[in-house]
Amino acid sequence: MRLSRRRYLRLAAVFSAAMAVVIAALVLSRWGPTVTAATTTVKAGSVIGVPDRYISPNITIQQGDTVEWKLAAGRHDVVEFANAFRSPMMIGSGYTSWSWTFNAPGIVGYYCSIHAVPSELDTNGDGVFTASDTPDTYNNMVGVVNVQAPATATPTETFTPDPSSTPAPTDTPTTVPTATNTATPTWTPTATDTPGPNTVPVDTGNYFFSPRTIAVRPGDTIRWINTSNLPHTSTSLDGLWDSGIIAPGGYFERTFSAEGSFNYECELHIDQNQSGRVDVKVDITPTSTPEGSPTAATTATATIENATLGLAQASPAVPPARPVRGPMTMNVGMSEYAFDPAGVSLYAGDTVRWTNNGTMPHNTTANGGAWSSAILMQPGESYSFTFSAPGTYAYQCSLHAAQGQVGVIVVREGLPTALPAAGQGPDAGPAGSNWLVIGASAAAMALAAGIMRARAARRRRVVAPADNV
Burial class (CB in 10 A: 0-12, 13-18, 19+), 360: middle
- DSSP states of 240-281: S-B--BB-TT-EEEEE--S-EEEEEE-GGGTTTT-EEEEEE-
> Model pTM?
0.31
d(CA 273, CA 208): 8
Answer yes or no: do 389 and 272 share one domain.
no
Helix (H, G, I), strand (E, B) or coil at 40: strand
| Position 29, amino acid | S
Determine the average pLDDT of the residues in 289-305.
35
Query: In this prediction, what percent of the chain has a pLDDT beyond 70?
Result: 64
Q: Chain-wide mean pLDDT for the chain? A: 74
Task: Indicate whether 113 belongs to any domain.
Answer: yes
Q: Calculate mean pLDDT across residues 441-449.
A: 50
Residue 187 within a domain: no
**Number of other residues whose CB lies within 10 A of the CB of residue 149:** 11
Residues 402, 340: one domain?
Answer: yes
On whether residue 363 sits in a domain, the answer given is yes
Note whether 272 and 207 are within 8 A (CB).
yes
**Cα distance between residue 272 and residue 209, in whole Å:** 12
Q: Is residue 175 part of a domain?
A: no
pLDDT at position 425 is: 34
Burial 250-267 (b: 16+ CB within 10 A, else e): bbbbbebeeeeebebbbb
How far, in Å, CA of 268 to CA of 64, rounded?
37
Distance CA 274, CA 322 (A): 19
Judgement on whether residues 341 and 465 belong to the same structural domain of the protein = no
Is 10 part of any domain? no
Grade residue 277 by pLDDT with cuts at 50, 70 and 90: very high
| Confidence (pLDDT) at 318 | 42
Highest mean pLDDT among 86-90, 341-345, 361-365: 361-365
Do 321 and 203 lie in a common domain? yes
**Nearest residue to 56 via CA among 153, 142, 174, 182:** 142
How many CA atoms lie less than 13 Å away from 401 in the CB half-sphere? Answer: 12
Band of pLDDT at residue 115, cut at 50, 70 and 90: confident
Domain count, the chain: 3
Domain boundary among 113, 148, 183: 148
Per mean pLDDT, which range of 32-41, 165-174, 189-198, 290-299 is the poorest?
A: 290-299
Q: What is the mean pLDDT of residues 32-55?
A: 71
Q: Are residues 93 and 123 in the same domain?
A: yes
CATH number for the domain including 123?
2.60.40.420
More confidently predicted of 313 and 219: 219
Cα-atom radius of gyration of the chain, to the nearest Å?
32
Q: How far is Cα 302 from Cα 257, in angstroms, rounded to an integer?
A: 16
Could you tell me the residue range of the domain that residue 106 belongs to?
39-148
- Looking at the fold, whether 320 and 350 belong to one and the same domain comes out as no
Do 84 and 108 belong to one domain? yes
Q: What percent of the chain has pLDDT over 90?
A: 35
Q: Are residues 129 and 214 in the same domain?
A: no
Q: Does some domain include residue 190?
A: no
Which range among 22-36, 101-115, 353-367, 422-436 shows the weakest confidence by mean pLDDT?
A: 422-436
Query: Same domain for 313 and 212?
Result: yes
Whether residue 300 is found in the same domain as residue 341: no
E-only strand ranges, 206-364: 208-210, 213-216, 221-226, 235-236, 251-255, 260-265, 275-280, 329-335, 338-340, 343-347, 351-356
Residue finishing a domain among 148, 164, 181: 148
The answer to whether residue 15 sits within a structural domain is no
Same domain, 200 and 319: yes
Let me know whether 60 and 117 are in one domain: yes
What 3-state class would DSSP assign to 211? coil
> Does any domain span residue 157?
no
The answer to whether the beta carbons of residues 344 and 332 sit under 8 Å apart is: yes
The confidence score (pLDDT) of residue 268 equals: 86
